[in-house]
Structures are given as structure tokens and as C-alpha cells.
């Protein structure tokens, strides 16, 4: 970590929504300006800053400081004061006036501004009016600094303090005194917890109305982190009461008041009162409306279409089965449709044919997926450029961490996507936010084709978008069920289907691709895993140990990814005198290690190099979930070279290493969208929320040739019985059905 101080010479880029800023810092003693990057809540050119951060090397923009924290500082010597005043920090005062002011008042300048502003007019060229105005500005900044210090006493970070001050200004003190919980409402980044702590310090009662209401809203917001779009009243009241340490009855009577103030929304589903955080209610509602509006009929001549499909089949040397043909026909005829299918059911072939048909009509087609990797795979399998939905919609300004406040999409109802067809793959990963954003950017007349496997892991964000759409029955859904892969009669596929149906898996003695080795102690499980990956499986599936993937449900714990990686590294890639190592954030990376990129990086350059050392292909972009092997580590150039699939070599600066993780073992979540010859699955125990049917299904279907579960059979059965996404409260399905019914009524 470095610390440097200097003037903000110029602001190269600034996103006002979230503060993401690129700026140049200068100092009289430096030869060159230094570029700093980060989320600066408030900056202006001419400010004097103390910046702490890491020195990194950006491939395009060179050396820069990645800001970790910063503060504004008042300059002290007269040179610095003059520079500060003259920098434009105070309106009406330029370099010339600043010089004159400082020549007169020297080190006393700042005191004059604060205490005797009228004396500024003694300087030639400064009127009384300008003097007062300048002093006011100056003092505003001082007040801000005081406010910062005040807030920091409550344990509030600098960044939050700036946000709070920007929101309320001097009224901040009043807000803090009367209702600190307002902070949680008005300021993203201040949650109930921080507000509650401030309130406690300010002497608020445990059962104050403000506290209870803020608590209810907070719990509703928090429930979205569990994937809910709403909570039944009973459940909401119970969790809130628990959080606040109060009696449920006391909480319950506040719910109605919040509904009346429209702070939360209440709707009945069946005989159950459901409470929504407003934004989510409107999102579901709008999604339903937009989906229905999008679902136009496009009449076609079936004979001609059939002919076209035939000729594509001939050209591509493929043969579509009945369901695939149905999918193609529906795609052409409907504004909205869903294609569902597990791995190996021919989704790719179907998408390809659909793309070809539309292409021959000269239509504009856009392909996208919710993750970078899925998009990349879509590009590879279709031969058309696919991108993340976020990029498609030109996302802007998502801040780090959980703060989604600044995030928005440039493509929306005002500037919709210009396309005839939009095809989205891996729809199961799309949450209600993303769906809403996508739909807003589509106009009726554009076809929306959604492809996915509803049995995979649910989306990160709230909602059961794909399942709700399918269940609502408003559009055509084609289910591809026939398994084309050669392993059609394999136990992997059979068991995957059993898992889906909720039946116990069969471990047949004579099975050739689906095994369970029962062990009850973590250490035994680890030993078996190592034995499998080092000795037994490679010859069995005819692959190298690096092709075999260990998948674990969790990161932490005795059987977590972190621990497993440490051990597997020891056995698969032990330390050797000639292997260079580099520690980063407590993890040791070594040459020949199997690693994975954990963040989309569109700038990362890669090249393919032939046996003579010549580059024969190059490009950009490494995606979240891509795995590779460390080829070289250079302590001299401070770089790590990683070889990804197809010999793509990418060079990481040491400071980019936060984008890499060891990948002998990865979480099942991370494996979604990838396939491996063999999968080893250590399963023993863990939280019920996580150990569910989807997770097991996702893990099992990653394997092409062989699945080996090591651990508890009982846990396997438990997971199959544990359908927890049923517990995701969402109502997109109901909203669609309601609107569809009322549309029909209007027409009749």
C-alpha cells in the first residue's frame, strides 16, 4: 500500500452516479502526474488529496494507483495554499487573485477566510461581494469536513460520510437527532444495521416506531438476498421481530401503516397477504405487462418454412427431431417463446437452426447470456457474436460490492435495442432485475427467445423468472427431452433425470459411470478424492488429472474449495526447486498450477503461439470461469503467464492476480456452464439452504463420462428431497396470469 499527496490536476473520467473516477494527481516535486483510479465520492480539480492505494500496471493506461481510501487535506504552506486557492476550488478566484491574496495574508490566509472574510476585500481586485461569496464557499467546505469528522465518530466510513453529507448538508444533524433510520431509506450503502447503531448511540428506544418500521423494510429488502420478491406477512413479521428482539404482535401492527404510506406494497395471493418491497412489486408487474405485449403472432407459410429447415439440415449435415423442429417453428411464429432442455438435448443445434433461418430473412439477431462464460460459449457454438446481457444493454456504473445504486442501463424504453430477434441462453440465471432491464429495452415486434434449463441453480438475484414464465403458460414452451449425446444410456443422464423427479439415485454395482464411495470422516473423504484424481480416474476416463474436476458445495470448511485446493496442489503440483512460486492474498501460486479466472476481463490480451515461438493468433478477453494452467511466473517482470483453452496465453501483472484462483477444486456454482470428462463430488454435511436438489443436479450434469460421489449417501438422498427453490417467493407467474385474464376480458 502506498500513500501519496498531491493536487487533482485533471479529471480524466468520472461517473457521477457512483463516483468511479480516473484522475491525475500532481505535485511540484514530481516529474510526472500520477493516475489514480477508484470510487471518489467527491472530487474537483484543484483539490489537495491524500490517496492510499496499490500501485498497479494497466495494460492500456500504464502505471496507476488503485485507490483504497483517500481524504481531502487543507494545504499548509503558502505555496500550497496559493496553489489550492488558484486551482478553481473556489469560484471567482483564479491563479492571479490567489497569488495576491497569499502575498498579503501568507500562512494566515485560511484563518482570514474563516474569521474575517471582509478583509479579503483589502486585496486589489476583490470586491466585498466576492470576498463574502468566496468565504462562504470556503466555509462550506470546512463545514463538510467537520461533518465528516462528526460522522466518523459513529464509525461511519469516509465514503458513506460523504454520501450522507451530500444528501442532507447541514440538516444532517437534524436527521440524526430525529430519525437516524431515515439514513437507511435515503442513502444506498447505509443499511438498517448502521442506522440502528447510530440510533442506539443517540439514545433511541428499542421499540420506537421508527425502529420497527425501518426494521420491517430492512427485512423485506434482505429477503431479496435469499431470492424472494415478497414475503408472506407472517414470515416478514417473524423475521423482523427476531431481528429487533421484540414481540411479533408489536411488529405486526406497523405493517398496515407502512402499506398505507405506500412504503411497502401488500397484495393477496390466494388467502395469503404478501408484502413487497415496492420496487420489486413494480418490476414483476412491468415484466408481466411487457412480456404479454411482446408476444405478438407472426404468421408464416408453414410449407416454405419447412423447406428452409430442410435445406439448412442438408447444408449443415444435421437432422432435427420433431421437438427441435417444433421449437424452430414456434420461434418464427411467436413474439415470445421458451426452449427448455437439459444438457445434451440439442439446444445448441436448435439455436443454430433458428439463427440461420432468421439470418436468411435478413433479420437482425442479437445473442446474449447472463454470464460472460455462457456468452462466450454461445459465440463458439453458434459462430455469431454473443455478449453478456449487461453489455448488450450497455450497463453503466455498478459499484463494487452490494451497492447497486448507481447501476443503470443505457439501453431502455427510450433507446431500445434495434433487433428483430433476441436470443437469450442460460435463462435460469436471469433474475427479475435483469429481466426487467432486458424487457424495457425491447419493443413489440422484436422476438424474444429464451433458452435454458430450469433445473439448474436459480439466479443470484431475486425471482424465479424462467420457472414463472413457463408456469404462467402465456407463451409457447418447447421441452427438448431426447438425449442425443452418445452417453444416452449412461447412468449420469438416468440419474440426473431421477434427481429432477425427486427419486433416489441408483448406485448399481455394475455401473460404469456413476459411483458413490461412502466415507464418514472428512480426512477419509480427502484421501479418497486424492487417490481418485491422482491414480484411479485418469486411466479410467482417459484424461489427465487436470481434466478431472473436483466440485464442492462450499468454499470454506474442511471439505471446502480452499482447503481442497491446498491439498490437491500438494499432490498434483508439488513444490520443486525449479518451479517458481508467488504468494498472493495468502494463497500460494506455483508454476504448472491449475487456475481459474474469476472475473470478466475484456481487456486482457491473449495470443496463441506456435512451436517456433511465433504468434499466429491474438485477441482480447478472459472470462469468469475460464480455467487454465500457470506456465511461467516471472519475479523480474512481476508477471504470471497463464495458458487457457486452445493455447491462449495471457500475461497477468502481479496486481491482476486477484482475478485468479486455484482451480483443482471449484464450487458447484462456478462450474455451472462447464463440462468435464469426470467429476468428483465430496459431499458430507452443510447448511440445508445450500445442499439441495438443484445443486446436486448441477454438479452431476457437469460430467460427461464419470461421476464419483465421495462421502455420505444419506446426504445425497437428503439433497434430492430438499427442493428449496419452492421457498423462493415470487409472483411473476400470477402477475402474468392476472394481466392476461384482464386483457381477455377487455377484448370480449
Does the annotation place 344 within a ligand binding site? yes
**Minimum CB distance to DNA smaller for 227 or for 545:** 227
**Which set of grid coordinates corresponds to residue 582?**
508467488
The residue among 225 and 318 lying less far from DNA, judged by its C-beta, is 225
C-alpha distances (whole Å) from 517 to each of 169, 520, 717 are 64, 10, 14
* Distance in Å, CB of 549 to DNA, minimum: 14
Q: Is 64 in the site for DNA (CB under 7 A)?
A: yes
Residue closer to DNA by CB (options 168, 433) is 433
Residue among 64 and 179 whose Cβ is closer to DNA = 64
From 242-250, 311-319, 645-653, 664-672, give the range in contact with DNA by CB under 7 A.
Answer: 664-672
Residue 638, sorted as left (phi over 0), alpha (psi -120 to 50) or beta, turns out to be: left
Q: How far is the CB of 285 from DNA (least distance, A)?
A: 21
Contact range with DNA by CB under 7 A, out of 448-456, 537-545, 651-659, 665-673: 665-673
Among 10, 178, 226, 311, binds DNA (CB under 7 A): 226
Closest to DNA by CB, 226 or 615: 226
The annotation status of 86 as a binding-site residue, yes or no, is no
Q: x/- string (CB under 7 A) for DNA, residues 422-441? A: ---------x-xx-------
Alpha-carbon span 551 to 131, nearest angstrom:
68
Check binding of 722 to DNA (CB under 7 A).
Answer: no
Closer to DNA at the Cβ: 12 or 488? 12
Cα–Cα distances in Å, from 40 out to 17, 48, 158, 399, 689? 11, 13, 10, 11, 37
- Residue linked to cell 405506500: 262
391 part of the interface to DNA, by CB under 7 A: yes
Told to check if 663 binds DNA by CB under 7 A, we report no
Among 8, 22, 291, 683, binds DNA (CB under 7 A): 22
Give the C-alpha separation, 247 to 237, whole Å. Answer: 9
Q: What's the Rg (C-alpha) of the chain?
A: 30
Tell which residue, 434, 490, 438, 488, has the closest CA to residue 462: 434
Told to check if 522 binds DNA by CB under 7 A, we report no
455 to 474: interface string for DNA, x by CB under 7 A: -----xx-------------
Task: Assess 556 for contact with DNA (CB under 7 A).
Answer: yes
Residue 87 or 388: the one with the smaller Cβ distance to DNA is 388
Q: How far is residue 432's CA from residue 115's CA, in Å, rounded to a whole number? A: 55
Q: How far is it, in rounded angstroms, from Cα 575 to Cα 593? A: 10
Q: How far apart are the first and last CA of the chain?
A: 70
Known binder of ligand: residue 348? yes
- 227 is a contact residue toward DNA (CB under 7 A): yes
- Find all residues with CB under 8 Å of 59, minimum gap 6, and list them: 603, 604, 605, 653
Nearer to DNA, 41 or 286 (CB): 41
Minimum CB separation of residue 734 from DNA in Å reads 22
Interface with DNA includes 61 (CB under 7 A)? yes
* 8 Å CB contact between 64 and 56: yes
Count, residues in the chain:
748
Our finding on whether 673 is near DNA (CB under 7 A) is: no
**Binding residue for DNA, selected from 2, 3, 10, 12, defined by CB under 7 A:** 12
Residues 675-714 that bind DNA (CB under 7 A): 686-687, 689-690
Strand partners, 5: 50
Among 540, 635, 640, 545, residue whose Cα is nearest residue 597 = 640
Q: Verify binding: residue 191, DNA, rule CB under 7 A.
A: no
377 binding DNA? (CB under 7 A): no
Quick one: which of 709, 655, 657, 715 has its CA closest to 678? 709
Stretch that binds DNA, among 385-393, 494-502, 532-540, 579-587 (CB under 7 A): 385-393
Backbone CA torsion sign across 367, 371, 376, 380: negative
Cβ neighbours of 336 (radius 10 Å): 23
How is 709-742 classified by DSSP, letter by letter?
A: EEE-HHHHHHHHH--GGGG----HHHHHHHHHHH
SS (H, E, C) 275-321: EEEHHHHHHHHHHHHHHHHHCCECCCCHHHHHHHHHHHHHHHCCCCC
**Stretch of 15-23, 110-118, 184-192, 330-338 contacting DNA, by CB under 7 A:** 15-23
647 touching DNA, by CB under 7 A: no
| Min CB(233)–DNA separation in Å | 21
Interface of this chain with DNA, residues 564 to 623, rule: CB under 7 A = 598-600, 602, 623
DSSP E strand boundaries for 128-263: 230-232
Position among 219, 399, 421, 529 found at the interface with DNA (CB under 7 A): 399
Of residues 75 and 372, the one with the C-beta less far from DNA: 372
Whole-number Å distance between alpha carbons of 297 and 447: 10
| Residue list, annotated binding site | 344-348
Q: Which residues are annotated as a binding site for ATP?
A: 344-348
Interface residue list for DNA (CB under 7 A): 12-13, 15, 18, 20, 22, 35, 37, 39, 58, 61, 64, 225-227, 370-373, 388, 390-391, 395-400, 402, 404, 407, 431, 433-434, 460-461, 553-556, 560-561, 598-600, 602, 623-625, 667, 669-670, 686-687, 689-690
Amino acid at each position: 500500500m502506498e500513500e501519496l499527496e498531491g493536487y487533482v490536476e485533471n479529471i480524466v473520467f468520472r461517473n457521477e452516479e457512483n463516483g468511479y473516477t480516473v484522475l491525475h494527481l500532481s505535485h511540484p516535486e514530481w516529474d510526472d502526474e500520477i493516475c489514480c483510479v477508484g470510487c471518489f465520492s467527491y472530487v474537483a480539480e484543484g483539490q489537495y488529496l491524500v490517496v492510499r492505494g496499490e500501485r498497479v500496471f494497466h495494460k492500456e493506461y500504464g502505471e496507476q494507483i488503485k485507490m483504497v481510501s483517500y481524504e481531502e487535506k487543507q494545504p499548509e504552506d503558502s505555496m500550497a495554499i496559493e496553489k489550492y486557492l488558484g486551482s478553481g476550488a473556489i469560484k471567482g478566484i483564479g491563479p492571479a487573485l490567489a497569488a495576491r491574496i497569499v502575498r498579503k495574508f501568507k500562512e494566515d490566509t485560511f484563518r482570514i477566510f474563516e474569521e474575517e472574510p471582509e478583509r479579503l476585500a483589502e486585496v486589489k481586485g476583490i470586491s466585498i461581494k466576492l470576498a463574502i461569496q468566496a468565504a462562504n464557499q470556503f466555509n462550506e467546505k470546512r463545514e463538510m469536513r467537520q461533518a465528516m469528522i462528526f460522522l466518523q465518530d459513529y464509525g461511519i466510513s469516509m465514503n458513506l460520510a460523504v454520501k450522507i453529507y451530500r444528501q442532507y448538508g447541514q440538516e444532517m444533524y437534524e436527521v440524526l437527532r430525529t430519525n437516524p433510520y431515515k439514513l437507511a431509506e435515503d442513502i444506498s450503502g447505509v443499511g438498517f444495521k448502521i442506522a440502528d447503531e447510530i440510533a442506539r448511540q443517540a439514545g433511541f428506544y428499542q421499540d420506537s416506531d421508527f425502529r420497527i418500521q425501518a426494521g420491517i423494510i430492512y427485512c423485506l429488502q434482505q429477503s431479496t438476498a435469499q431470492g424472494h420478491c415478497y414475503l408472506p406477512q407472517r414470515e416478514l413479521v417473524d423475521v423482523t421481530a427476531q431481528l429487533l428482539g421484540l414481540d411479533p404482535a408489536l411488529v405486526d401492527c406497523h405493517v398496515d401503516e407502512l402499506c398505507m404510506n405506500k412504503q411497502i406494497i401488500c397484495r393477496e395471493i390466494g388467502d395469503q397477504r404478501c408484502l413487497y418491497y415496492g420496487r420489486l412489486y413494480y418490476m414483476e408487474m412491468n415484466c408481466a405487462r411487457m412480456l404479454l405485449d411482446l408476444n405478438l403472432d407472426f404468421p408464416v407459410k408453414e410449407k416454405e418454412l419447412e423447406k428452409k429447415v430442410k435445406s439448412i439440415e442438408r447444408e449443415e449435415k444435421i437432422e432435427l427431431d420433431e421437438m427441435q423442429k417444433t421449437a424452430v417453428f414456434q420461434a418464427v411464429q411467436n413474439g415470445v417463446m421458451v426452449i427448455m432442455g437439459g444438457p445434451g438435448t440439442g439446444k445448441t443445434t436448435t439455436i443454430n437452426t433458428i439463427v440461420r433461418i432468421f439470418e436468411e430473412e435478413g433479420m437482425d439477431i442479437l445473442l446474449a447470456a447472463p454470464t460472460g462464460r455462457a456468452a462466450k460459449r454461445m459465440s463458439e457454438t453458434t459462430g455469431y457474436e454473443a455478449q453478456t446481457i449487461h453489455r448488450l444493454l450497455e450497463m453503466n456504473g455498478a459499484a463494487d460490492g452490494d451497492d447497486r445504486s448507481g447501476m443503470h442501463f443505457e439501453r431502455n424504453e427510450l433507446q431500445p435495442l434495434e433487433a428483430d430477434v433476441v436470443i437469450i441462453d442460460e435463462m435460469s440465471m436471469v433474475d427479475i432485475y435483469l429481466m426487467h432491464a432486458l424487457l424495457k429495452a425491447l419493443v413489440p415486434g422484436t422476438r424474444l427467445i429464451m433458452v435454458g434449463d430450469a433445473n439448474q441453480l436459480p439466479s443470484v438475484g431475486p425471482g424465479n423468472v424462467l420457472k414463472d414464465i413457463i408456469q404462467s403458460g402465456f407463451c409457447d414452451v418447447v421441452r427438448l427431452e431426447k438425449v442425443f449425446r452418445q452417453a444416452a444410456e449412461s447412468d449420469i443422464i438416468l440419474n440426473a433425470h431421477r434427481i429432477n423427479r425427486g427419486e433416489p439415485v441408483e448406485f448399481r454395482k455394475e455401473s460404469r459411470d456413476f459411483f458413490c464411495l461412502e466415507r464418514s470422516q472428512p480426512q477419509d473423504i480427502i484421501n479418497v478424492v486424492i487417490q481418485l484424481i491422482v491414480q484411479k480416474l485418469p486411466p479410467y476416463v482417459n484424461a489427465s488429472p487436470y481434466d478431472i474436476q473436483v466440485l464442492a458445495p462450499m468454499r470454506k470448511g474442511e471439505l471446502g474449495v480452499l482447503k481442497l485446493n491446498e491439498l490437491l496442489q500438494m499432490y498434483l503440483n508439488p513444490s520443486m526447486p525449479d518451479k517458481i512460486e508467488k504468494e498472493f492474498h495468502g494463497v500460494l501460486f506455483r508454476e504448472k498450477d491449475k487456475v481459474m479466472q474469476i472475473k470478466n476481463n475484456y481487456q486482457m490480451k491473449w495470443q496463441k503461439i506456435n512451436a517456433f515461438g511465433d504468434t499466429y493468433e491474438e485477441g482480447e478477453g478472459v472470462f469468469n470461469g475460464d480455467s487454465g494452467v500457470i506456465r511461467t511466473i516471472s519475479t523480474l517482470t512481476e508477471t504470471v503467464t497463464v495458458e487457457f483453452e486452445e493455447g491462449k496465453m495471457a500475461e497477468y501483472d502481479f496486481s491482476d492476480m486477484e482475478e485468479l484462483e486455484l482451480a483443482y477444486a471449484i464450487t458447484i456454482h462456478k462450474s455451472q456452464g462447464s463440462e468435464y470428462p469426470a467429476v468428483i463430488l465430496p459431499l458430507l454435511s452443510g447448511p440445508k439452504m445450500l445442499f439441495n436438489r438443484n445443486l446436486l443436479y448441477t454438479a452431476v450434469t457437469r460430467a460427461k463420462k464419470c461421476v464419483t460421489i465421495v462421502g455420505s449417501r444419506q446426504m445425497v438422498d437428503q439433497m434430492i428431497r430438499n427442493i428449496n427453490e419452492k421457498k423462493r417467493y415470487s409472483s411473476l407467474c400470477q402477475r402474468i396470469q392476472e394481466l392476461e385474464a384482464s386483457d381477455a376480458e377487455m377484448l370480449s
